[in-house]
């Protein structure tokens, strides 16, 4: 999950970098997706039992953020 979300973040940054007119919209959608994942995380923290859903959500969020960040550093 971590690797696939990393590749997804990397692909989003590469595609929007190639088509430079989509940068603000892509940034807004990426921030909205990460913020939604943070807000979905709170009820999962309070739930008892198997934390697999929480761990998958965290891995997806971290991998996507890391992919975007790494692609941003490549452009500098």
Give, as one character, the DSSP assignment of residue 50.
-
Q: Dihedral of CA 3/53/44/28: which sign? A: positive
pLDDT band at residue 75 using 50, 70 and 90 as cut-offs: confident
What rounded mean pLDDT belongs to the chain? 90
What pLDDT is recorded for position 62? 95
CB 57 within 8 A of CB 41: yes
Say what the pTM is.
0.85
What pLDDT is recorded for position 18? 85
Give, as one character, the DSSP assignment of residue 1.
-
Buried b (16+ CB within 10 A) or exposed e, 24-49: eebeeebeeebeebeeeeeeeeeeee
Residue 48 pLDDT more than 80?
Answer: yes
């Amino acid at each position: 999950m971590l690797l696939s979300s990393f590749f997804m973040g990397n692909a989003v940054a590469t595609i929007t970098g190639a088509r430079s007119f989509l940068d603000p919209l892509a940034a807004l959608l990426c921030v909205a997706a990460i913020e939604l994942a943070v807000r979905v995380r709170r009820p999962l923290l309070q739930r008892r039992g198997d934390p697999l859903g929480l761990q998958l959500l965290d891995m997806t969020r971290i991998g996507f953020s890391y992919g975007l960040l790494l692609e941003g550093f490549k452009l500098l």
